[in-house]
Amino acid sequence: MAHGLGAPSAWVTRWTPLLPAGSRVLDLACGGGRHVRWLAAQGHQLTAIDRDATACEPLRDVAEVIVADVEHGPWPCTGRQFGAVLVTNYLWRPLWPRILESLAPGGLLIYETFAAGNETVGRPARSDFLLQPGELLARCQALRIVAYEDGFLGSPDRFVQRIVAARPDASFDGVRRWPL
């Protein structure tokens, strides 16, 4: 199945109910928009970024679409912040500062991608595209970790890491209750 097509990730559908109604959501490397369409149907305001103009063209009816090569060009959302930043099946380590800067106070980072071990079952197989053990936890150390998983999923076989983490805001007292 082509990147971005099909049903939304179970990780995304599990955790996006934590978003306040009408949240502004950035979907980075959105592909064909499986999460863009699903989140728009939930009433959120979407900004979708991908370098493939053809893949994201059909999303213009439900999202602000930004066609950009974020690996070789400037970050297209400088100065903007979102109630959630969503990244699935994508890893470009130099973007981490931009991703975290784009997260508004109180906002959620929902991230899920391939992890070390995936080279034994398929693609991606290069370490450049595989998270190392505990890497998401380390990248999100300044955030409040709501949920984290690192392991093997079947059908199709793949190794993943995934995290949901919140950027503290002025009202955060360290005991906010995140429903699990």
Show the domains of the chain with their CATH numbers: 19-166 (3.40.50.150)
Place of tokens 């109604």: 21
Indicate the pLDDT class of residue 5, thresholds 50, 70 and 90: low
> In angstroms, rounded to a whole number, what is the distance separating the alpha carbons of residues 84 and 104?
8
On the CB side of 37, CA atoms within 13 Å amount to 15
What confidence tens digit (pLDDT) does each residue in 146-164 have? 999 999 999 899 999 999 9
pLDDT at 171 over 90: no
Q: Would you list the DSSP string of 10-21?
A: HHHHHHGGGSPT
Looking at residue 36, the DSSP 8-state letter turns out to be: H
Is the pTM here over 0.85, yes or no?
yes
Note the pLDDT tens digit of each residue in 47-105: 999 999 999 999 999 999 999 999 999 999 999 999 999 999 999 999 999 999 999 99
- Confidence at residue 176, expressed as pLDDT on a 0 to 100 scale: 65
With 0-12 / 13-18 / 19 or more C-beta atoms within 10 angstroms meaning exposed / middle / buried, residue 47 is buried
